[in-house]
Amino acid sequence: MKILVVSPYFYPEGGGLERYAYEMAKDLSVQNEVIVVCSTKEKERIDRIDNIKVLRKKPDLILSNTPIRFLLPFELLSLMKKKDFDLIIAHTPVSFFADVASLVAKLLKRPIVIVYHTGELKKGSWVDLLAILYEKTLEKITLRDVKAISVSRYVQRILWKKGFYSKVKYPKLNEDFLYAQPNIKRKDNLILFVGQLGRFHRWKNLELVLRALILIRKVLPDIKLLVIGKGDLEDYYKRLTKDLNLEENVEFLGYVSKEKLIETYKLAKLLVLPSSKSEAFGIVTLEALALGTPVVVSKMGEFPVIVEEGKNGTLVSLNEKELAEKILFLLTNEKTRRKMGIIGKKSIKRFIS
């Protein structure tokens, strides 16, 4: 079987959506020919990852967080004619690439699967107007008469409200996280934030974590926050860290390898991710739990399903005082934290079957 995957970006670029797309493509490539078409912020090129051929295209412009390439419709039509693909899989709701893929599939009468990756499209900025317009127009056309997959039950409910049925397929956790051995004795007061640092990912609320850190430092002067991720707001967060006099308490690691990420999870006592309702799943929570690292996350999205309050982590409101109190409680109660770590590794089984 020949499968064409269309994604706004593709691993190792991007974040959770791109890793989901990669893991799905990797599984499919065991018995099928898989070709990926995506955009890139780097040099246009052809890659091969495992058994997957990846055609990385340079966008003509990036509107909001959406890469747009004017030749994409003709390129997909040409590729479909040349390779005669049996199935198209498109990842959205970063628009344009999936919308073009849906149009091409309908023109050629080929089956298409749309994988939907986000919670609320509206993120509290000027682009919300574009999101509302998109939801009422193009998205309806894209999702009409296709097989849809949601990455969580939270996303499934959102699509249902829009009038579209979907099945749920949780993100696949890379096996390296499953087989790695947790570090039970963690001496330093390290907490970890993992996420993209772009302006269209402000909803992951790193700024809230930084402000909570001021309160935590009054009790634990040696508190250290490790930040993994990059984006166009990285310099802003570094300036804010300096303005808040937190330079000794925060370290920005940028993008790291999978091996380095695993080691950092094992060093950290907690993963902290107080995302808003735009968070569809949060694969980093499973990664942390797999390595025995309890999580402090918001009450949004799928987090209340992943996190059992007081067992493998804790849920917080989007409030810096409450966030600081929950983090402090776990950092100063070693027995409770270690117990959460043990339970956490067991708790992910229902998401990896």
DSSP string, 114-150: EEE--S-S--SSTTHHHHHHHHHTHHHHHHTTSEEEE
Tell whether 87 and 31 lie within a shared domain: yes
Q: How far is CA 70 from CA 67, 74, 75, 100, in A?
A: 10, 9, 10, 10
pTM value > 0.75? yes
**Angle, alpha carbons 100-101-102 (nearest 5°):** 90
Cβ atoms of 193 and 227 within 8 Å: the answer is yes
List all residues 6 or more positions away from 160 whose beta carbon is below 8 Å from its beta carbon. 166
Tell whether 179 and 158 lie within a shared domain: no
SS3 (DSSP) at 163? coil
The whole domain housing 92 covers 2-168
The H-or-E segment that residue 39 falls in is strand 33-39
Cβ atoms of 89 and 113 within 8 Å: the answer is yes
Predicted pLDDT of residue 121: 66
Predicted pLDDT of residue 353: 58
Tell whether 328 and 191 lie within a shared domain: yes
User: Looking at residue 63, which CATH number applies to its domain?
Assistant: 3.40.50.2000
Q: What is the number of domains present in the chain?
A: 2
Tell whether 106 and 39 lie within a shared domain: yes
Tell whether 154 and 194 lie within a shared domain: no
Mark which of 168, 203, 228 sits at the end of a domain: 168
Amino acid type, 267: L
Predicted pLDDT of residue 284: 93
Predicted pLDDT of residue 128: 67
Tell whether 39 and 139 lie within a shared domain: yes
Tell whether 292 and 228 lie within a shared domain: yes
Tell whether 93 and 221 lie within a shared domain: no
Mark which of 168, 190, 210 sits at the end of a domain: 168
Tell whether 212 and 86 lie within a shared domain: no
Tell whether 110 and 60 lie within a shared domain: yes
Other CB atoms within a 10 A radius of the CB of residue 159 amount to: 17
Mark which of 168, 198, 227 sits at the end of a domain: 168
Tell whether 71 and 197 lie within a shared domain: no
Predicted pLDDT of residue 123: 61
Phi, psi of 340 (to 5 degrees): -60, -40
331 vs 335: CA distance, rounded Å: 10
Tell whether 255 and 273 lie within a shared domain: yes
Phi, psi of 200 (to 5 degrees): -90, 10
Token pair belonging to 39: 């955009």
Per-position pLDDT tens, the chain of length 353 = 999 999 999 998 888 889 999 999 999 999 999 999 999 999 999 999 999 999 999 999 988 778 999 999 999 999 999 999 999 999 997 779 999 999 999 999 999 999 999 877 666 566 667 777 778 888 899 999 999 999 999 999 999 999 999 999 999 888 899 888 888 778 899 999 999 898 878 889 999 999 999 999 999 999 999 999 998 899 999 999 999 999 999 999 999 999 999 999 999 999 999 998 778 898 999 999 999 999 999 999 899 999 999 999 999 999 999 999 999 999 999 999 999 999 999 999 888 75
266 vs 170: CA distance, rounded Å: 24
List all residues 6 or more positions away from 278 whose beta carbon is below 8 Å from its beta carbon. 118, 119, 120, 121, 123, 203, 301
